[in-house]
Amino acid sequence: MMKFKAYYLLLISSLILLILGFLVGEETFDINVHDTYYVIANCHLYRLFSSLLFIIFIFYFLLNIIKIELNKIISKIHIFGTIISIILLIFPYSIFDRTKEFPLYDSFEYINIVLTVSFLVLLFLQLLFLINIVVSLIKKMKSFRASRLHK
């Protein structure tokens, strides 16, 4: 029987977001940067994050195949933190924005703070993932060199 790895949650959440991306209506996600509004359809946002989660899953899967042992605690922090931060990036506007008029930046101040913090946490977690890979590769190379010296 195959053991369930934590990175399979990335695949499951990727599939859920992909399905939600096709089921979401014509809602939009509005971003105000200075005097410009960027309007993104929610379905595109769901598909973007679904693709991101799937790519991260592929990295974990390939690292598992080539037998690179990542730090398990950092990997779980990365996986769960990434899923939670993506959920916090997607859902605040769709839950609280039910008006049909164009929202002003100031009327969603707290939601924008949540979105900003969630995005920064997501970036930090991806950096943590890269550091975890580099440290694991260095450990593997050291153990490989040590095993060659003892022969």
What pLDDT, in 10s, does the model give residues 62-110? 999 998 889 999 999 999 999 999 998 887 766 665 555 555 656 667 7
Q: What is the mean pLDDT of residues 10-35?
A: 78
DSSP string for residues in 126-137:
HHHHHHHHHHHH
Using the predicted structure, report yes or no on whether residue 29 has a pLDDT greater than 90: no
Q: What is the mean pLDDT of residues 132-139?
A: 93
Is there a contact between 119 and 45 (Cβ–Cβ < 8 Å)? no
Percent of the chain scoring above 70 in pLDDT: 77
Is there a contact between 22 and 43 (Cβ–Cβ < 8 Å)? yes
Percent of the chain scoring above 90 in pLDDT: 42
Q: Is 48 exposed, middle or buried (0-12, 13-18, 19+ CB in 10 A)?
A: middle
Q: Reduce the secondary structure of 5-39 to three states and give it as a string.
A: CCCHHHHHHHHHHHHHHHHCCCCEEEEEECCEEEE
AA identity, residue 110: Y
Q: Is 102 exposed, middle or buried (0-12, 13-18, 19+ CB in 10 A)?
A: exposed
